[in-house]
Structure 1
Amino acid sequence: MQPAPSHLVPSRLAKRARYDAETIHPILDEALFCTISFCSENRPFSIPTSFVRHEDKIYIHGSVGSHFIREIEKGVPVCITVMLMDSLVVAKSAFSHSVNYRSVIIISNAEKVEDRELKTASFEWLTNKIVPDSWDYLRPIKESEIRKTAVLAFSLEEASAKTRSGMPKDEPEDQILPIWSGLIPLNNSRMPAIADESSENIPLPKHLR
């Protein structure tokens, strides 16, 4: 395995970093949103957006008129971040509090997707990620909608994951204190669907149950 590029090696707790697809891909597949950061005209920008991974790239969609899309499709360097929080780590001192998490950082440049079949496929991938099994249920996408939407791909060649798991790591002298410590699990789950007025008399489809 090639050594990780220096800009992907964390300055703290580097032992938590991983650079293999077996670690990185599942985090990207679970996360629904990422944040894309870049510089334009000497100003920093950081934009949250939905994304989908397919093989060794991630894809995002946006309006062809979006300033954000128009800027990064020029190929400027971007930093893409994803974070999943699993639990709050409550220690016996505020200094030792932490978070159990899984995160990914990607350094890449946008590749504009022009191929119509790949663009359409990326719409399907993202739609089914956000609402599983919904693509075939929905009204088919229109040609005009494809034209109005830009699709950008980003290589995962320069990507790293960093994670934390486990209980608090209190200082030895703190471990004997009569103060509770442990984990507070976090759960970001999908709740039951709520129909709008036009769908009140339409049975809830199987993929939404």
Structure 2
Amino acid sequence: MELGLPTIRRSLDLIEPRAITNPSLARAAVLIPIIESGDGPLLLFTKRTETVRYHKGQISFPGGAQDGSEPLETTALRETEEETGIASEKVQILGRFHDYLSSSNYRVTVFVGLVANEARVTPNPAEVAYLIHVPLRFFVETEPECRMMQRKGLEAAVYFYRRGDEVIWGLTARIVKEFVEAVVQSTPRRTPDKH
């Protein structure tokens, strides 16, 4: 299965981003940062410190709350730069993905961006303990664990990806799962040669 940038671009062209339209919810945006490597695309995650306000110690994509009426794409890029040191101009936005409702009641819009190879990465120690690079192929080949959990009186499926000592779960895992499904569905299948 070919998992390069053309496939990712095609998947983003094909999907209709799911939008949450509740105007009473605060807005936030995250970026799925993609880095090209010899082994295929890598997804970049942050391991949050234990001192941040929300989601302490969790693995997440860079992102945060919208400032005023700034465009949500700007929010995703600004927060990525604040957390990872990756300058906004070193990220090429490939497309918009779905909206999600976070456990902290934010309406989170997801963008996908290609990080330039020459981008300097300097994690903000106040927010980010360290960065994690995970091959996209890992998520394609790994079925997440699914548990039904209670949230605000409702039962919901919560996904978990385990890789070594790291666990990616919750909203981040749901975003990854749906992103991978979109990429895989748009991947052309090779047909065996007929002899």
TM-score by length of 1: 0.21
TM-score by length of 2: 0.22
Larger Rg: 1
